[in-house]
Amino acid sequence: MAERGLNVGIVGAGRIGRLHAENLCRRLPQARLRMIGDLVESAARDCARRLELPDWTTDYRQLVEHPDVQAVLICSSTDTHTEIIEAAAAAGKHIFCEKPIDADLGRIDRALAAVDRAGVLMQVGFNRRFDANFQRVRQAVTSGEIGTPHQVRIASRDPGPPPLDYIRKSGGLFLDMTIHDFDMARFLVGAEVEEVYATGGVRVDPAIGEAGDLDTALVVLKFANGVTGTIENCRQAVYGYDQRVEVFGSGGSILADNCYPNNALIQGQATIYRDRPLHFFLERYAESFVAELQAFFEAILEERPSPLSGAEGRLPVVMAHAARRSWAENRPVRLAEIG
């Protein structure tokens, strides 16, 4: 076991939990998946059997407190995150928590305080930071290749809206979807956002509006260093998953394009065309899900700081609340108003 590095437990055997579980077993030799937990017994058991895991449980406490488990990946529903973080911290386990940490800033603060007290490492699951294209953009900013950044633009659209049930519990577009882009904007620019202006509406499905949410949004960000940014969101882009960023600076600009299943270009009778982009986040960000766990394990094993700390995970939640208020009141909202 020692040869294989860290022993890991995963709480939550849903889509993202299973994804991490498979990556752990197949792609990440420096860690070993010791145990999986899920409230639904069959989900935990099936996953354990398929991946030949030593153990499974329906009680996250058993997992968190298991003496062999050194690090916990929290992939359960958002409302359970902070409780599990606090339990894992109390047990002295390193923590990887899916985004968002929570919708409530007070709960986040209590959980982060517990992490601090325990002195364990915590990383938040903003996997897009680990995408090769966005890392190239970030590198262009940090290396000065495009000079001082002035403007950032993020286009982020899903191929189609999730089920209405999901939307009702999601906390709203800004907290559920834009939150990735809030983190990306901070990552690319390397500075803090001070003010947010959000506008948008219901363009895809009136039922989303009836559920109290919007499905199409534009968010303006003002950074402390004078950079301005825009985020364009939509719950549906019929051409597929749209994930592009652009940073304009005093010395040039850099654009990251969508990703495709192949690079073949067809010269057809009516048009010159290529295939649609990679379908959705599981395909588009497949490698970044591996890379974020690799970074997590390496930080633990090499006793380096978290590549994406709990404090960094908190900020996009603040931005989401500010965006929501801005949208509701149609005025720029300073993050300081939120807390």
133-166 burial, b at 16+ Cβ within 10 Å, e below that, comes to bbbebbebbeeeebeebbebbbbbbbbebeeeee
* 30, 58, 62, 135: which one binds a copy of itself (CB under 8 A): 135
Q: Least Å distance between CB 131 and a copy of itself?
A: 9
Measured CA to CA, the distance from residue 128 to residue 126 in angstroms comes to 6
DSSP per-residue letters across 173-192:
HIIIIIHHHHHHHHHHHTS-
Cβ closest to a copy of itself, residue 138 vs residue 321: 138
DSSP state letter for 276 = P
Q: Does 31 bind a copy of itself (CB under 8 A)?
A: no
Beta-strand relationship, 71-74 and 55-57: unpaired
Question: Coil, strand, or helix at residue 100?
Answer: coil
Q: Does 323 bind a copy of itself (CB under 8 A)?
A: no
Stretch that binds a copy of itself, among 24-32, 80-88, 296-304, 311-319 (CB under 8 A): 24-32
Cβ closest to a copy of itself, residue 83 vs residue 145: 145
Q: Does 143 bind a copy of itself (CB under 8 A)?
A: no
Q: Does 132 bind a copy of itself (CB under 8 A)?
A: yes
Q: Does 45 bind a copy of itself (CB under 8 A)?
A: no
* 89, 204, 211, 318: which one binds a copy of itself (CB under 8 A): 204
**CA nearest 212: which of 154, 161, 172?**
172
* 52, 165, 302, 303: which one binds a copy of itself (CB under 8 A): 52
Q: Least Å distance between CB 87 and a copy of itself?
A: 32
Q: Does 185 bind a copy of itself (CB under 8 A)?
A: no
Q: Does 160 bind a copy of itself (CB under 8 A)?
A: no
Measured CA to CA, the distance from residue 226 to residue 194 in angstroms comes to 10
The 271-310 site mask, x for binding a copy of itself (CB under 8 A), equals: xxxxxxx---------------------------------
* 15, 117, 304, 331: which one binds a copy of itself (CB under 8 A): 331
Q: Which residues contact 113 (CB under 8 A, 6 or more apart)?
A: none
Beta-strand relationship, 71-74 and 6-11: parallel
Stretch that binds a copy of itself, among 64-72, 113-121, 161-169, 258-266 (CB under 8 A): 258-266
* 80, 151, 170, 309: which one binds a copy of itself (CB under 8 A): 151
Cβ closest to a copy of itself, residue 15 vs residue 136: 136
φ/ψ region of 311 (left if φ > 0, alpha if ψ in -120 to 50, else beta) reads: alpha
Q: Does 268 bind a copy of itself (CB under 8 A)?
A: yes
Rounded to a whole number of angstroms, the distance between the first and last alpha carbons of the chain is 44
